[in-house]
Structure formats: C-alpha cells, structure tokens
A and B are shown apart, each in its own frame.
Chain A
Amino acid sequence: MPPRARTLSAIACLAAFLAAAVPVSVPAQTQNYENAYLVAANFENASLQNVNFQNANLQRADMEGADLRGANLRGANLRGANLQSASLQGANLQGAILRSASLQQANSQDTIFQNANLQGANLQSALLYGADLRGANLAQANLFGANLQTANLQNANLVDTNLAGTNLLNANLQGAQRFAVRMQPVTHVMAKRPITATVVTKPRAVVKKATAKPKALAKIQPVKHLTVAVAPARTPTPTPTPIPAVVPLPTPAPAASPALLAVRSAPTPSPTPSSSPGPTLIRLSANRVAFFYDRFLVEADGNVHVHTSDGMTMSGDSFSMDLKLNRFLLAGHVHLQNSSGSQDGAAVADFLEFNRIYFVPLTRASQSATGIPDRWTFIGGDFANPAKGREMPGDTFYFPDLGNAKPYIIATSAVIGSHSFVRFGGGRFDAGEGLGAYVPVPSYYVNFSTDQHLGDNSLAGANYDATWEFAGNANAISALHFRYDTVNKTYMAFEQHLSGKKAYAVFSLNPMTRPSKFWSLLLSDRPSDRTQIRTFTQLHTFQFGLKSPLESQQVTTVQATQALSGSFLQANYQFENFSLLPLGCYQGHCTVPNHPSSLFITGQTFDHPLTPYFDQDARIWAHLTYGFGFQHDSLGLQTLGGVNYPTIWQHQLGFEMYMPNLKFGPDLSIPTKYYAINASFEKQRQWNSTPHYIDTTQGKISLSKILNRQVLAYLDYSVENVGDIYSGSLQSTVYPGFTPIVNGISYPGYQAFHGIATFRTLSLGVNYSNGGNVAFNLLLRKHTDFPAPIPFFFQFAQPDLLGNSAVQNYLGQPPYDATADLRLRINPHMSIDIQRTYYFNYSNLRWSPQFVFQVLQ
C-alpha cells in the first residue's frame, strides 16, 4: 500500500471510530440521576436538559452555567450548590433544599420552587419571572435585583429577605410573611395582591415609601405604569441568635478597666474578610516556637511575646496560630499593651481575617481584688469601645490537637506575614521530613501565599531536592537547594524569587558546585489581564569555580501572548549563541560557531463544540491553529540541491478535535458501572520556503474502566503519521531507499521508507491507588511502526532523569516496553517514586539504564 494511501486509510479508520461513537451518546441525553450521590459533582456548563435528579444529593455541586431546562430536581439536595448563571427554566425544584445555594443570574423562569428551602440562598439578579415560589422559605435570601415579575410568592417566608431592587411586578405575595425585609433604594414592587392583610389591596401598586410598621412596610398607591420608587434604607433587624444561658453575675457591672485605644483600621460593620494592602506582621518570640508544616500551625510556649505591626504588644504562656485561617490565640496570664493603655486577661484570639479580637479580660476595676472575668470583642480595631458580653464563635479559644506529631521546625522566634510567609530565627528543621532528624539553621523561611510565582522555579528536575529558604518576605525568597540527580550526583543550587502583583522574576544558578553551570533568568509581566510577556534567558558555562569558562552558550526566548475574544495570538522569538567565546578549543572544549534565531507568530482558537446538543462529556470539541514565521542561521540551516538555505520561512495550519469522555454502561452515575471512551484527532501541515512540507496526523482512542475504588485500567491505541513531502524527484534525493545491513543481517523493508513514517502504539495501563499512601502504575506498550525498528541501527532516544521522553515517537523505538511505577507515601511530608522500564531485549536492551527515583515533598 503506498504511504499516502496508508495515511488516508489511518484517517478513515479513526474517523470511523469517531463516527461509530457518536450514536452511543444518544442515551446520555436522558440521564437518570435519581437518588444519586453527587456531592461536589462538577456539572459546570453541562447540558442537563430534562435530566432526572429527583432526590439526588447534589450538595456543593458545581452547576455553574449548566443548562437545567426541564430538569427534574424534585426533592434534590442542592445545599451549597453553585447554580450561578444556570438555566433552570421550567425545572421542577419542588421541595429541593437550596439552602445557601448560589442562583446568581440563574434563569429560573417558570421554575417550580414550591416549598423549596431557599434559606440564605443567593438569588441576586436571578430571573425568577413566573417562578412558583409558593411556600418557599426565602428567609435571609438575597434577591437583590432579582426579577420576580408574575412570580407566585403566596405564603412564602420572606423574613429578612433582601428585596432591594427586586422587580415584583404582578407578583402574588398573598400571605407572604415579610418581617423586617431589607428595602434598599431602587425597588420595583408591583403586587397583584397585598403583601400582608394590613396593606391596601390594589392591583398594580408601587411602593412609595417603607414605613416603620413591622408588617406593613410599604405604602401602596395605584399607578398604571411601573415607576421607580425610592425607599429609605432600613437598619437590618438583628438575626435571632440563640442566647446562651444567663450567667450569674456576682457583682454589679463596674466601670470598664483602662481601655486600649483604637490603633487599627476603622471599625467595619460586618465580618467580611479584609483586603488590606499588605500583610499584618506578627513578631513572635518564646522559649519554644514550633511549626507543623502539614497543618500550617505555629505553636509557641513559655514566655511568649507577640508584637503586631499595628503597634500592639502581647505576652502570655501559650500561642497558637493557624496560618491558613489567619487567626491566632494567646492564652495564660495574658497582658495586652499599646501606647495608650494595658489590660490583663486569660486569653485573646485575633481573627485577622475579620478584624475581630476576642478577649477574656480580668477586670480589676471592680470591688474584687482578683478581677472578674468577662468577654469582650474588639471590632475593627476599636479598642476604646469593646462589645461586652457579645457571644463568641465556639472554637475561638481552641488549641489544635497535635497528638504526637513532630514539628518540622523548632525555633525561638518567628516573623509571620499574614497570608504570605513565616520566617523562623535561630532553630533547627527536620531534614528527615517527619523522622525527627533536626539540623540547625540560622533562619528558615516558609512561603504559604497563594502567589504561585514565588514558587516559580528555573531549575531542571532532580531526583531529590531539599530546599532551604533562608531569607524572604511577602515578595521575595532566597533559597539554597541541596540536590541529587544521576548525572550531576550531589550538588547545590541557588535561587532568588521576586514577585509583585503583575510581574515576577526568578534567577537561579544550577548546579552551583559543578563545572557545568546553568545561569537562568525568568521574567514575566502582565500589563493587562489579556496580555502577558515572558522571557527566559539561560547562560551555560563550563567552568571550575568562577574561573574563565571553557564553554559558554546562551539562549533567550521572548514570548508575548495576547488574548482575543475567541482565540489568542502568541509571538515567540528565540535566539541562541552556541558559543560566546572566541572560536577555538579550550582544554578540549571546542566552540560551535552557529547562532540560530527564529520568530513564529501563531494563533489558536478556543475549543468549540462541534456537537453542542450532545452531553457535555460526549461532545466533540475542536480548535484551529495557524501561524507563520522563519528560522535563520547565517551558516545555513539546510543544503538542498547544492543550495545552502540560511533562512527558511514557514507557515502552518492545523486543527484538532477531541471527545473527552463518552460514557456507556448500565449505570452512568456509578463510576464502576460504566466504560469511558475518549478520542482525539489532529492534523497539521507546515509549509516551508524550501520545497517541502511536513504533514503530521495523529489519532488516539482509549477505553477506560474503573474496576473498583482503587483500581483503574485503560486500553489506548494511537496512530501518528509523519510525512516529509518534497516536490518531485527531491523526495528520493532526501530520502533515498536503501537496505541497511546490521551485524550481517540485511533489512530490505527499510528500502520502502521515503520520508513518511507511521507510529502505531497499543497501550494497556493499570493503576492502583489506596487513598494517597500507595500508588502503583503498570504500562505495557506495543509499537508497530513503519519503518520497522532495526536493532543497533537507529539512535535510541534516552528518557530524561525523571523517565520522560523528549519526543513522543521516534524511528527505531523498541517494539515492546513495560514500565512500572511505584509511589509510597512514607510520612505526611514525603513520598518516594520509583520507576523502571523493561525493553524485552531489543538491541540488547533489557532494563532502562537506571531506576528513576524521585522524592516528592
């Protein structure tokens, strides 16, 4: 079969696979999730039209943007679910628990919410036109801006509901309970029936003014057209909160003790997380400061002193801070002091996130010689006016249960930057990662911010890397790496990170203690949310210490990305100097004179569904890529027909389509009872200014099955066809057929190879995982390639240190390989991964040259 026909045949086979798969998606249209356990399930943007979710548990499910038109959610538990922007038109939510669910901007037109529990639900801007909310519990629901036009709110509980800006035109509010409804300005209310029996009964009325009466909030006047009414803002009625049992007061309330004056920010009315420009700094010292890395807890005991960046000084016996929750507790003989006063007490808890300080003082101004305990809450840093007796959260003063856990760091002081870092001074850290092998260090820095750029590294992979971050703050880290890999063995590396709001930089020297050094600099700037510029510069030197280098090469890449509405453009420019030294040889290290450069501008569209009406997972998605650019090397890139080409212009066009997850089986709601198929197909052609083009076609299809909670298996088949097509007789000039003879054996089959290769791979994979402690993967592969592999003829593509191949398919890859990978979690901080491949004696190769061994932290 000629190569081109072979290519077409492969494409046709794959197309047939896809075509055959399409009809299978039809049953997925009528999915049945009745009584299904779908807690935290991801239905983001899913097409769930007419799906039956009756009595399903959809707690915290992500249904953002999902199409739920006509879906049956009767009795479903949607507590905490995210239904933002979901289309619920005509859906039956009768009796559904939607407590705390977010229905923001959801289209709930004509939806049946009858008796649904929407307590606390966020219905902001929701389209509830004509929705049946009869008897629904909307207590504390946020209906700001919601369109309730013609909605039936008969007997609905609207206690403390935020109806600001709500359009209630023709809504039926008969019998609805509305106590202390928050009526913000710009409220459209046109009720068909009165809100309560005390309100004047007039059709199509508009609220002019809210009154102070609890049950008759609006004075209704008959009007013909909808007008904007302005109602004065009302103070929300405090939510009825259970009051604890009355505490016997031994003495009459005396005057308050010397108050601390306000030193923090202005009081905030509600405990919303503060967004301060910089982190609050907490300087801590104690006889023993311990850090538990797996729980991000800082625990200190004995002679504890705390200074906060806002001027507060505290002392006590024990300190506990949860870095993630951003709150700390100081207990035992607590003394608070700032420039204006002081106060003693038993414990203080500072919830930095919410600007709340909870304090148990011992008030000495009373008749009691010993002081009387009390409970004060400082709100928003207002120390002059504590809220006395105010109920506190239940776990305010709780210490974490540490059990027998060993701290990762033991020190005597720490500086904590809220939400960003903690830096310990004068201590020791557990180099054994949980084994208790403590190594003294002058300082230790731990970053826990959500800024991933502080973790952006410019180091190559290593089998083992122990990082000592010895200095840093909220925007910078200085680190030494102690590393091991099978090429460089043990060595050290240095890395410096800098990060700001929009830009970051990383500099590294790796390995620092070996002659072959790589000096890397990464820079990134994001001038807007749609534009990003990144550069990467690497200098390689071969030098002993900092003596004159014997080799020096450099590469720089500049990448600029611009997001468009349905696609993005990217420009990549790269230039290289294969030697920065004068031409010649230096102790056997000879220079290479080339200095190639390249520029490529590419565009790629977003993934678009080709089959939008299919189920989300069964849809076929596609995108296009296109681009143009050039490659240049003044010494020449390619010689063809006696002509040397120093510059080659290229342009390319490609497309990719894939189907992520088509499920079939007796029960699609239970993972062990269905099979999943996914497939992809991509085709790209690259035209060159030299007379040839390169076609790359790849198709993949895989079938997977979850066998039980721990074991999963998959079967995968892929075909890749690469054709380097020259015009006319040049094809046989560039790719002349010949019969290689290796070790006395001739391989005439290679004669047929004229620049078009086909790589077929059949894979069987099994993976086992027992909840994160042990994972085992086995991958068996069979390659059926053209040209067929010839032992000792082709160069073998060595995998890198971590077992990854730089190329997917290459000529002469072993026909069979089996890779086993075992990962063991040896303590809460560390896993060990061991991997090795067996090649079934191809080219005298049995096992991969070495085990791939990696410590994951």
Chain B
Amino acid sequence: MKFALRIATAIMLAIAIFSATIFQASAQAGTVVVTAQVLDFQNGYVFITTGDGFRVSPNLAVVAYNTAKPAGPPQPRQYARMTFDPAGTVIKIELSNSKIAAEGDLAAVRHFAIALSTPIPNPDLAPRTSISPCSNVRPGRSVILNITVEVPPSTPLADTIYMTSDQSGWNAQAYRLDRSDSLHYRTQLKLLSGTVLHILFDRGSMQSIQVGQNGIEQTPYPICIADEDAQTFTKTIYHWADQQAGASMPIPQTMPTPYNPAPFPNLPPQPRPTSAP
C-alpha cells in the first residue's frame, strides 16, 4: 500500500510537472504582439490611434524599443510594440519615437478594447454619392501632377506662364510652366495624395492673371490629388486680365509710356549719324 501510494504520488507529481510545462508553453503561445501609435496612457489604460483603449497589467513593463532599457510612460505620437496576454491585457510596451516595422494585426486585438457602450453603426460612413476624387483617397502618397494649359493665341511668344495657388499663399510666381508649343504650357509637380488645392494661371503678376471667357475674374480651379501614380489637369485660358480686346492695364512698376501712334517704337530717326558704340 505504501508502495502504491508512493507510485501514485510520483505519477501525480509527474503529471503536475508536465501540466505546468504545457500550460506555461501555451500561455506564451497565447500572447499577441502588435505595433501601433500611442494616443494616451492613463488610469490603467493605453489608447492607440485607432481610438481603442486597452487595459494594462499592474506589472506592465515599459521599455525602449531599440535598447530594451526601461522607459518612461508612453506619450502621444510615440510608436509602440505592445504585447497582450491571452486575456487581452497589455503586459509589455516597447516605445520608439520613430516609426517601427509593422507587426501583428490590429484587427486581431480589437476585441480586447474596452468600451462602455455597445457599438452602433454610423450612417455618416455609408457610401456617398460624392464624385470628388478625394472622397475616399488614401492620403500621403507621392503623386505626379501633370498640368497642361492652353493659352490664348494673343499670348506673347516669349512670355512666361506661372501657376498660383492657395498652397503658396497665392504667390503669382510660385510655379513656372514650360512652353510645349505655341499654345500650350505644361509643368509637373509632385504632390501628396489627399492634397486639395485651388489654382489659377498668370503671366507673372496678379494683374496678368487669367480671367474667364466673359472677361470677369475666374474662380480658382479646385484640384484634389487622388492616390494614383500620376494625375493630369488640363484647362483652357481664354484671356489675361491685363490684355483684353486691345486694351491693357499697366503692369506694376513699369513707368507709363507716352502714347506713340507709330507701331515701331524703336524706329531710328532719318538719316542717322553713325558711329560704333
């Protein structure tokens, strides 16, 4: 009996040791790791930029991502590598001020997020009938914007055409266009997707800005940069404000010139004394 008891104790001990090993292994296997950006850390919760708040363990380890040394409490904007235990509690946060490689799936930890109210759908997020290319754009992608404008045939051949926009505080000479033939000018810009800008074209000053076909000032054209490799924008300019129907507004800081009824302003007087300069 005593022997049997000893055997049974040994077996139970072996089972206990085996179980503990198995459970520990499964516990480690149950942890989830994700990377995210910190929104807030307070009152036993860490919030990430998805808006989700997660309960943190009382024994939370906060370390620097690069050095693994203990770090201060998480701050907004910091990037974090967070380790969740199987119960959904954050047990470790590794912090970095620079972006860290993406790891894990945030959707996989969404069910650990704590929220008092039951989620309800938001009708605002239903698809809209907007035709704006920016309505569903993924911002931040570098996009080449090809701009081509057709100028009025009266545009002097040697004139420079510029683009002005609200992105440059309506600086009349912010973007210079290149002539592509006698009626067209073009330029290429690199802009980030999601950018919305309003533009107009001019010949170097706001006095020589384009006007509409009816001679009245032109409303700026809106452009939205969508998330694609390249985008094109083409417009026709009908008139310049300083150059309408044979009349012109003076350009700032050009001294007024007296009316000269002759069409050749630099006609030499006749006969002209001659000498080399």
Contacts and interface: CB of A to CB of B under 8 A. Distances in A.
B168 A775 contact: no
A761 interface: yes
A83 to B, nearest CB: 9
B102 interface: no
A772 B196 CA distance: 18
B200 to A, nearest CB: 6
A563 to B, nearest CB: 4
Interface stretch (B8-16, B27-35, B249-257): B249-257
A458 B252 contact: yes
Contact of A797 (B121, B169, B253, B266): B266
A623 to B, nearest CB: 9
A310 to B, nearest CB: 21
A241 B125 contact: yes
Most central of B128, B167, B215 by chain A CB within 10 Å? B215
B206 interface: yes
A102 B270 CA distance: 68
Contacts of B174: 856-857
A305 interface: no
A563 B238 CA distance: 14
A360 B246 CA distance: 63
A594 B183 contact: no
B120 A389 contact: yes
Contact of B49 (A398, A576, A724): A398
B262 A724 contact: yes
Contacts of A374: 115-117
Contact of B123 (A239, A370, A805): A239
B253 A459 contact: yes
B65 interface: no
B115 A772 contact: no
Contacts of A654: 246
A283 interface: no
Contact of B172 (A455, A508, A559, A688): A455
Interface in A698-729: 700-704, 712, 714, 716, 718, 722, 724
B127 interface: yes
A405 B50 CA distance: 24
B116 A249 contact: yes
Contacts of A325: 194
B4 interface: no
Contacts of B159: 804
Nearest to B207: A536
Interface string A377-414: 10000000001111111101111110100000000000
A625 B245 contact: yes
A767 B261 contact: no
Nearest to A775: B178
A704 B184 contact: yes
Contact of A724 (B195, B255, B263, B275): B263
A718 B182 contact: yes
A121 interface: yes
A377 B120 CA distance: 11
A797 B118 CA distance: 78
Best-buried of B116, B144, B258, B277 by chain A (most CB within 10 Å): B116
Interface string A734-778: 101010111100000000000001000101010101111101010
Interface in A113-127: 119-122
Given A392-B51, A792-B277, A362 B157 contact: no
A60 B133 contact: yes
Given A346-B40, A555-B256, A596-B259, A684 B123 contact: no
Interface in A598-617: 598, 600, 602-604, 606-607
Nearest to A354: B124
Contacts of A596: 258-259
B157 to A, nearest CB: 6
A100 interface: yes
Given A530-B214, A637-B261, A656-B154, A452 B116 contact: no
Nearest to A763: B157
Nearest to A577: B256
A830 to B, nearest CB: 10
Nearest to B150: A660
A360 B47 contact: yes
A60 B131 CA distance: 8
A825 to B, nearest CB: 8
Interface string A429-461: 000000000000000001111101011111111
Interface in A662-706: 676, 678, 680, 682, 684, 686, 688, 690, 694, 696, 700-704
Interface in B38-56: 39-45, 47, 49-51, 53
A55 interface: no
A403 B99 CA distance: 8
Given A241-B123, A804-B158, A856-B175, A638 B261 contact: yes
A460 B214 contact: no
Contact of A460 (B150, B184, B251): B251
A82 B131 contact: yes
A363 interface: yes
A241 B244 contact: no
A389 B130 contact: no
Most interface-central of B144, B228, B236, B252 (chain A CB within 10 A)? B252
B257 to A, nearest CB: 9
A823 interface: yes
Contact of A246 (B119, B164, B200): B119
Contacts of B131: 60, 80-82, 100-102, 122
Nearest to B140: A401
B195 A324 contact: yes
B39 to A, nearest CB: 5
Given A557-B250, A570-B244, A602-B246, A648 B261 contact: yes
Nearest to B223: A40
Contact of A538 (B238, B245, B252, B274): B252
A209 B13 CA distance: 80
Given A461-B173, A461-B205, A658 B220 contact: no
A360 B275 CA distance: 86
A810 B166 contact: no
B247 A602 contact: yes
B37 interface: yes
B170 A455 contact: yes
Contact of A769 (B127, B168, B188, B264): B188
B175 to A, nearest CB: 7
Given A246-B119, A360-B47, A570-B245, A456 B206 contact: yes
Contacts of B39: 331-332, 346-347, 360, 397
Interface in B211-226: 212-217, 220, 226
Given A318-B77, A448-B169, A455-B206, A658 B183 contact: yes
A459 B205 CA distance: 8
Contacts of A240: 121
Contacts of A594: 258
Contacts of B246: 600, 602, 625, 627, 652, 654, 684, 686
A301 B259 CA distance: 62
A244 interface: yes
B245 to A, nearest CB: 3
Interface string B73-85: 0011100000000
B76 A331 contact: yes
Contacts of B154: 656, 682
Interface centre among A604, A682, A741, A757 (most CB of B within 10 A): A604
Interface core residue of A360, A606, A734, A802 (most chain B CB under 10 Å): A360
Given A324-B195, A460-B252, A792-B277, A362 B43 contact: yes
Given A249-B115, A775-B187, 7 more contacts: A372-B116, A375-B117, A536-B207, A661-B184, A712-B180, A740-B268, A804-B159
12 contacts: A100-B129, A239-B123, A346-B39, A390-B121, A520-B253, A536-B207, A637-B259, A656-B153, A690-B261, A767-B178, A823-B176, A833-B176
Name the 8 nearest CB pairs between A and B, nearest first: A455-B170, A389-B117, A460-B253, A602-B245, A239-B126, A563-B214, A373-B53, A680-B153
